[in-house]
Structure 1
Amino acid sequence: MGGLTRQAPGVLAGAVNGKGAKPMSTPVTGTLNGRDDEARAEQVYQLVLEGIVAGDYAQGERLRERALSEIYNVSRIPVREAIQRLEQDGFVETFPRRGAVVRRLTLSDVNDFFDMRLCLETFAARLAAVQVGQGASGETLRQLLEDGRTAIDEGRGDDVVRLSAAFHAEIVRLSGNRLLIDSVKPLFGRMRWIFGLAHNRSNELQRDEHVELCKAILGGHAELAYSLAYSHIELGRVPVLAGLAGKLEP
């Protein structure tokens, strides 16, 4: 099969479950070309992940291999590989005789998510400051900060969440630690998913915290960057859990 036909995740979700197609606010069309099953599996992974994060694939919703392979114009092999990876990254669960379904998040999952961020992202912030102090460029981090400010000023909520995740991902990239970078990757999809469900903190407050964290990293102040990252992450825990208390099981 020559390539992937890319459509809006909401439309795909309807087809996967045998329902009418769901409307999307921003339909996407085009063709994604993959030269082999590995490339196609990556493309299917990204498209389904975007659908989960955006809420177009609901929690508990079944993902059928056959339907996905028809929608994306690929064999079942890359679809199966994409689903396996989504399961490894915590977005999908598989059950005997039922197959793959979008994972149902719990409040315990969200707590674990914040605990993991405290362990990994604070360390990344410290390393990033060291790297910048030794000459690494922090220009991308600075630009993401400015893009986030603009999104807040213009009231673009979805972009605020996306750019916030990108800001944190860039801090991890700046750490220069390859194993850390690979370990943290699934967290940022989870971040967009969780914050899309409950984002109860002031965007302006988070912007100000990002500004101070960025200053510490670009100034090469490793311990200050660590402390600011820790407080920034921890301050987000309570409002997010409060916002999800009526939506998720314990």
Structure 2
Amino acid sequence: MGSAEQPLAATRHRVIDELRERIVGGELKPGDRLVERELAEAFGVSRVPVREAIRSLESEGFVVVTSPRRVVVRQLDRTDVEELFDVREALEGLAAGLAATRASRADLKRLERLLADAARATEAGRARRIAQLNTRFHDEIVAIAGNGLLTTVLDPLAGRLRWLTRQNEHWHDLVSEHEHLFEAIASGDRERAANCGSGHVRVNRDVTLRALFPDEF
């Protein structure tokens, strides 16, 4: 039984990950309808893992089941976005502060390499690569922070936070902000790093709100 369950679980996780990435990457946009049959054909799987993926993404806040036969990608309103940023600001500040007290030389080298890669991707205008490196940079800081509960709290929000981050196309500014955050963490000053981490989120919040709700500014 174990061997039969393994490929089924792998298929389920693949469909969940790919469907989430289509939403986060903008291929599927807010309001787009998800049709089980069409998705099953696109992924080359039965409708069962697609149905399970939709349930999972509903619990993550990516899709809304409006009726037994209608599922759409969720349209985040301004309150949703602001609440996500409120939580992110608190958690990113905590992560950066902890990282400042716990980062080893090897940890800092990894962050430096990610910054260098991001700078090159920015100069080349590689949007998808920039988004991936931005996510890895923040994930690395959380890992360095070494707080299991913090990771557990962030995990269910990770996809939606990545989606929000991808709305910020001020790429050169992002690189600069990340360099300042790295310097704060490398200084070993917990308060400085925490303030820098929270400040970075506040800047990103303003840019994202203006991108998503331009008529309100």
Q: TM-score, normalised by structure 2?
A: 0.86
Aligned twin of 1:171: 141
Task: Answer 1 or 2: which has greater helix percent.
Answer: 2
Cα distance, 1:238–1:137 mapped onto 2, change above 3 Å: closer
Aligned counterpart, 1:219: 187
Q: Supply the distance in 2 between the matched residues of 1:205 and 1:72 (Cα, whole angstroms).
A: 37
Hey, what's the Cα distance between the residues in 2 that align with 1:136 and 1:77?
44
Give the aligned length: 212
Tell me, yes or no, if structure 1 residue 45 matches structure 2 residue 13.
no
Correspondence for 1:78: 49
**Change in CA separation of 1:209 and 1:233 when aligned onto 2, cut-off 3 Å:** same
Does residue 238 of the first structure (1) align with residue 209 of the second (2)?
Answer: no
Shift of the 195–247 alpha-carbon distance from structure 1 to 2, 3 Å rule, reads farther
**8 Å contact kept, 1:37–1:77:** no
Quick one: which amino acid aligns to residue 147 of structure 1?
Answer: D
Retained in 2: the 8 A contact 1:169–1:188? no
**Structure 1 counterpart of 2:162, from 181, 192, 195:** 192
Counterpart of 2:71 in structure 1 is 100
Letter in 1 for 2:192: L
Aligned partner of residue 64 in structure 2, secondary structure: strand
Identical residues among aligned pairs (%) = 38
Structure 1 residue 44, shift from structure 2 partner = 0.4
CA drift of 1:136 comes to 6.5
After superposition, the Cα gap between the structure-2 partners of 1:216 and 1:100, relative to the gap in structure 1 and judged at 3 Å, is: same
Residues 42-79 of structure 1: CA deviation (Å, up to 9, x unaligned): 10011111111222112112212233233323333322
Structure 1: any 5+ residue segments left out of the alignment? Answer: 1-33
**Residue range with higher mean Cα deviation, 59-68 or 118-127:** 59-68
Q: 1:66 aligns with which of 34, 37, 46?
A: 37
Partner in structure 2 of residue 183 of structure 1 = 153
3-state secondary structure, aligned to 2:71: strand
Distance in 1 between residues matched to 2:144 and 2:36, nearest whole Å: 37
> What are the residue-to-residue correspondences of 1:120-159 with 2, within 5 Å?
120-132=91-103, 137-159=107-129
1:111: Cα distance to partner? 0.9
Cα distance change, pair 144–86 in 1 and its aligned pair in 2 (3 A): same
Q: Is the 8 A contact 2:121 2:129 kept in 1?
A: yes
CA distance in structure 2 between the partners assigned to 1:40 and 1:138 by the alignment: 36
Give ranges in structure 2 of 5+ residues lacking alignment: none
| Paired AA for residue 215 in structure 1 | E
**Stretch moving more, 92-101 or 144-153:** 92-101
Amino acid at match of 2:174: Q
Aligned to 2:197: 229
